[in-house]
Amino acid sequence: MGSAADVGQVVKVYWALLLGNILEWYEFAIFSFLEPYLEVQFFNGSAISTWLGFACTFAARPFGGIVLGLLGDIFGRKVSTFLSICGMVIGTVGQGLVPSYQSGEVAGTIGLVLLVALRLLQGICTGGEIAAVSTYITEVGPKRSLARSMALIGITANIGFLLAQCASYLTREAVGASAMESWAWRIPFVIAVIPGVIATAGRRCVPESQVFLDAKTQTGATSDVFDVGSESADANSGDSAGSQGAASQAVARIKHLVKSQWPSLLVGIGSVAGAAVLQYGGFLWGNVFLKKHGTTPDSLIAAGITARMLAAVLAPLVGWLADTVGVGWIQLAGTFALTLGGLPLFLVQKWMPESFGVVMAAYGVGYGIIFALVGMIFFLVVVELFPVEVRNAGVGLSYNIGLCVFGGFAPTLFQASLSWTPWGPGWLMSCAGLASLVTFLASIWLQSTGKGNLQLAHIRPDPYFVLPGRTMSSAQTQSGPAKV
């Protein structure tokens, strides 16, 4: 079976996971594209408060990542993916049904509280979603085309963002600006129920990861790895095997994860910085910024489609390169490109927001190419950091902390930075690229020197920089510690 057939088989069997991934990114993006309407309906015209409302979802993601990650490591990947999709559907659709201040002061206050609560639920469930899906695909995807299979996550994420932008744009075009400001802003939230129900039904039939089942069988029920902390749980709960024992075991597992994998957790957090800031700062906040500074809706939708389609089209090529020469070259190129390009790309848009050509070139082509490099397969870098027995929780914790710190608060910081310097958002994008670049180089150095007992690759022995004259397929048959 060829590599294309390998990826096709992943899509055929695990389509419900990919559909749920589209929904995850759709629901995160739709809030930002509707920010001008939510700003009026719930936040008294304050842009910073609205972006803080956006950020609260990210604050809940690490909690969801570790809780649903533990469930995935204990009971299986299938359980965590099913719970996450159910919560995402409730959280997204519910945001379109809450009352606003347009219905009165009391109703508006209740609506604001419900909006925040639903966004927290959304954050908890999506925090577990990406960890479970990336772990799932890594474990079921053929090793020779692993990066290409993982690129499916990046492709579906871009589809989710693109659908969110199209949904907000088409709704406004269909009903008009007045109706959009009054009530039609709810429509993009509510229609998420359709793919949500389909994905929920499909995930009931998704098979469990064989890697997880094999590891669970080999270690056994009394394994120190899978049931770490069980003795402490028994000591704390005595003869009762209730919720206290389960809670103690969960706490012990978290302590074990942090103690044994702290270098990997830090590398995972830093690796997320560049992609997260470009995604939520450059793309989402940048879209609202351009809209408020004279860019026409037609220009924005054209630039958005160009950026997302360009990243999605380049994703298979990026995945092929990662499978052929190593993901390290892609990570190096993407973070370096964002470090150099973040500031100038923002500045030309700020100087000429009404120019269709400038917005298309900088936002559409510039961001699209950089995101294809920095944001399409970085999930693989994070997943590779952790062994199978703690992979779901490790990815859930590190990825979501990174996304919360760098992505969730990016729009708020971008907005606030304009009061410090008109170049602020551009500097923040370049600094985020530099943070990921430094993290990557530091991780290579730590593994090569043996400090921190850091192992960058637990799935393929030689995934970072394939040496001349060797191929990934030959490298992956080797045994022993991972090489870079």
131-178 confidence digits (pLDDT tens): 777 777 777 767 777 888 888 888 888 888 889 989 998 999 999 989
Contact 279, 402 (CB under 8 A): no
pLDDT score, position 236 = 43
Asked whether residue 316 is assigned to any structural domain, the reply reads yes
Residue by residue, DSSP assigns 340-371 as: HHHHHHHHHHHH-TT-HHHHIIIIIIIHHHHH
Asked if residue 337 belongs to a domain, the reply is: yes
The b-or-e profile of 318-346 (16+ CB within 10 A means b, else e) is bbebbbebbbbbbbbebbbbbbebbbebb
pLDDT at 209: 62
Q: What is the CATH number of the domain that holds 121?
A: 1.20.1250.20
| Domain with 86 in it | 16-215+254-463
At 280 the three-state DSSP class reads helix
Structure tokens, 88:
């995402």
Count of Cβ atoms closer than 10 Å to residue 154 Cβ: 26
244 domain-assigned: no
CA of 387: how far to CAs of 92, 255, 264, 395, 459, in Å? 33, 16, 10, 10, 8
Comparing CA positions, the residue from 72, 75, 74 lying closest to residue 127 is 72
**pLDDT exceeds 50 at position 474:** no
Q: Is 43 helix (H, G, I), strand (E, B) or coil?
A: coil
pLDDT, tens digit (0-9, with 9 covering 90-100), for 243-283: 455 557 667 777 888 888 889 999 999 999 999 999 989 99
pLDDT tens track for 67-101: 777 777 677 667 777 888 888 889 899 999 999 99
In a domain, 459, yes or no: yes
Q: Is the pLDDT of residue 479 over 50?
A: no
Report if residue 236 sits inside a domain: no
Write down the pLDDT at residue 9. 67
Is it the case that residue 216 has pLDDT exceeding 80? no
Q: Is residue 471 assigned to a domain?
A: no
pLDDT of residue 212: 64
pLDDT value, residue 365: 96
pLDDT in tens, 330-383: 989 999 999 999 999 999 999 999 999 999 999 999 999 999 999 888 888 888
The pLDDT > 90 percentage for the chain reads 33
Domain for residue 11, yes or no? no
- Report yes or no on 6 lying in a domain: no
What is the rounded average pLDDT for all residues in the chain? 81
Domain count within the chain = 1
**Model confidence over 33-45: pLDDT tens digits?**
898 899 999 998 8
